[in-house]
């Protein structure tokens, strides 16, 4: 097998749990060398509400969301946005290497096994982006891990998020409206929203708020990186 990222040969280092059948054996698409370049995030190492790497228990952004909008943020991410993740997203999203959607399959699949929700949805690409790129990067990354229900539609923004500075991102107005599907909210007591990267949290807050207006409660969010 070859690493999907660097094309070097890949040896699966199975854990004891996997070898003894306690955990499912999921082949890795990422070699040990590439894996060593990732920084794993956790609630213990950072903000307990969004996994931001800080010394305090709750970061300033999350405190602000609570104070200003009465939102108790509930976000998890797997990896810190470092140079490795930056170049991954450049190849995947900017250069359109769709095979890279599978690079973190093992990590995402394992996370999905330990975190259960009644409904899982995602931040969709806007129509303009979809036409330009030819695929929806968030859907491609998660659709074979979670049973995804489209709940949101994204309007085309004046400027792509990546070209905005932090202040501009925080000022961005609501860009989501609800997808016209018939989901019975009364049976959905918890909902997860997926995205690829979490920066200021503003995109997720807009997505949350669109779903809250529709009547959803217990909303958590997840991104591969932050």
Nearer Cβ to Zn ion (59/152): 59
220 strand-pairing partners: 192
Dihedral pair phi/psi, residue 73, rounded to 5°: -60, 140
Q: Which residues contact 216 (CB under 8 A, 6 or more apart)?
A: 185, 188, 191
Rounded CA-CA distance 90/196 in Å is 12
Q: Does the protein bind Zn ion through residue 3 (CB under 5 A)?
A: yes
Exposed/middle/buried for 161, CB within 10 Å: 0-12, 13-18, 19+? middle
CB of 23 to Zn ion, least distance (A): 23
Nearer Cβ to Zn ion (59/101): 59
Q: Does the protein bind Zn ion through residue 6 (CB under 5 A)?
A: yes
Nearer Cβ to Zn ion (33/177): 33
Nearer Cβ to Zn ion (26/178): 26
CB of 212 to Zn ion, least distance (A): 19
* Stretch of 16-24, 31-39, 85-93, 147-155 contacting Zn ion, by CB under 5 A: 31-39
Q: Does the protein bind Zn ion through residue 5 (CB under 5 A)?
A: yes
Instruction: Give the number of other Cβ atoms within 10 Å of residue 106's Cβ.
Output: 18
CB of 34 to Zn ion, least distance (A): 3
Nearer Cβ to Zn ion (52/154): 52
Q: State the number of binding residues for Zn ion (CB under 5 A).
A: 11
Contact of 204 with 50, CB cutoff 8 Å? no
The radius of gyration of the chain from alpha carbons, rounded to an integer in Å, stands at 18
Exposed/middle/buried for 94, CB within 10 Å: 0-12, 13-18, 19+? exposed
CB of 8 to Zn ion, least distance (A): 5
Kindly identify the residues of this chain, within the stretch 33-92, that bind Zn ion according to CB under 5 A. 34, 47, 49-50, 52, 59, 62
154 strand-pairing partners: 176
Binding residues for Zn ion, rule: CB under 5 A, are 3, 5-6, 31, 34, 47, 49-50, 52, 59, 62
């Amino acid at each position: 097998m070859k690493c999907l990222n660097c094309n070097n040969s890949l040896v699966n280092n199975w854990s004891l749990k996997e070898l003894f059948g306690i955990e499912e054996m999921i082949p890795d698409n990422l070699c040990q060398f590439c894996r060593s370049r990732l920084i794993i995030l956790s609630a213990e190492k950072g903000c307990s509400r969004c996994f931001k790497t800080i010394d305090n228990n709750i970061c300033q952004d999350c405190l602000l969301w609570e104070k200003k909008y009465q939102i108790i943020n509930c976000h998890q991410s797997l990896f810190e946005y470092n140079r490795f993740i930056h170049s991954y997203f450049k190849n995947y999203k900017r250069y359109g290497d769709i095979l890279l959607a599978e690079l973190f399959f093992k990590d995402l699949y394992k996370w999905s096994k330990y975190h259960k929700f009644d409904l899982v949805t995602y931040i969709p690409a806007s129509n303009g982006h979809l036409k330009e790129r030819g695929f929806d990067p968030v859907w491609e990354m998660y659709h074979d891990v979670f049973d995804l229900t489209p709940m949101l539609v994204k309007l085309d923004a004046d400027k792509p998020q990546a070209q905005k500075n932090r202040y501009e991102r925080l000022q961005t107005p609501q860009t989501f409206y609800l997808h016209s599907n018939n989901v019975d909210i009364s049976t959905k007591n918890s909902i997860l929203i997926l995205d690829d990267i979490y920066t200021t949290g503003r995109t997720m807050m807009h997505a949350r708020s669109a779903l809250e207006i529709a009547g959803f409660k217990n909303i958590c969010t997840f991104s591969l990186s932050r």
